[in-house]
Amino acid sequence: MKVEKFEEMRQKALNCFEKASIVLTDIEKKNIEVADFGLDDVERTGLQLVVYINTDRVCAKEMVLLPNQTCPEHRHPNIENEPGKEETFRCRWGMVYLYVDGIPSEKRSTNPPSGDEKYYSVFHEVILNPGEQYTIYPNTLHWFQSGAEGAVVSEFSTRSKDEADVFTDVRIKRIPEIES
């Protein structure tokens, strides 16, 4: 991702946080993470986030999805004897379409990013409006996309080990690179 694109996405995320009345410190604002998952297509496949806390036991994040942006399909595997990450998504503002393993929904509100369909395999739809939430247990495939306004989503979870996440899209690199 080019530094100009990173800065553009950061500013848009800040606007969403402001609309959602989420207060961040100056350091948090400066350090917003923009994840493009190595696909260099961040407006369609990407995520903006602030990690509030990530200890050995607990993690909490505030995430922004820009309009119609998708966080691609992945799961949090068990690692040796330790169960994988368990996470609860709570929609704070906007609307999120979450897809999890289960009976595919007959009428789906959204689709995977065009051209990337082969990297998406779970289609049981859960719609989250503000105040609504859903818990993803370890090793469960899931992906999510925001509505036309974008969305702000709180995540409450066990420790976050992004590098251990398993994405269905084999092209993905979770740790973003910013080019100058």
Q: Phi-psi region for residue 11, left (φ > 0), alpha (ψ -120 to 50) or beta? A: alpha
Instruction: Count CB atoms within 10 A of the CB of residue 46.
Output: 24
Residue number with CB closer to a copy of itself (39 or 136): 136
**Residue 39 or residue 59: which is nearer to a copy of itself going by CB?**
59
Least distance from a copy of itself to the Cβ atom of residue 58, Å: 6
In the chain, the amino acid numbered 147 is: G
How many alpha carbons fall within 13 Å on the CB side of residue 42? Answer: 26
Please identify, using beta-carbon distances, which residue of 72 and 84 lies nearer to a copy of itself.
Answer: 84
Which parts of this chain interact with a copy of itself (CB under 8 A)? 20-25, 28, 52-53, 55, 57-60, 83, 86-88, 90, 92-93, 130-133, 135, 154, 156-158
* Least distance from a copy of itself to the Cβ atom of residue 158, Å: 5
CA distance 93 to 169: 28
Residue 64 tokens, joined: 């922004």
Closest distance to a copy of itself from the beta carbon of 17 (Å): 10
Q: Which is nearer to a copy of itself, 133 or 139 (CB)?
A: 133
Strands 87-100, 70-75: pairing kind: unpaired
Q: How far is the CB of 159 from a copy of itself (least distance, A)?
A: 10
- Closest approach, Cβ 131 to a copy of itself, in A, equals 4
Q: CA-to-CA distance for 6 and 180, rounded, in angstroms? A: 10
Residue 155 identity: E
Please, which residue, 25 or 180, has the CB nearer to a copy of itself? Answer: 25
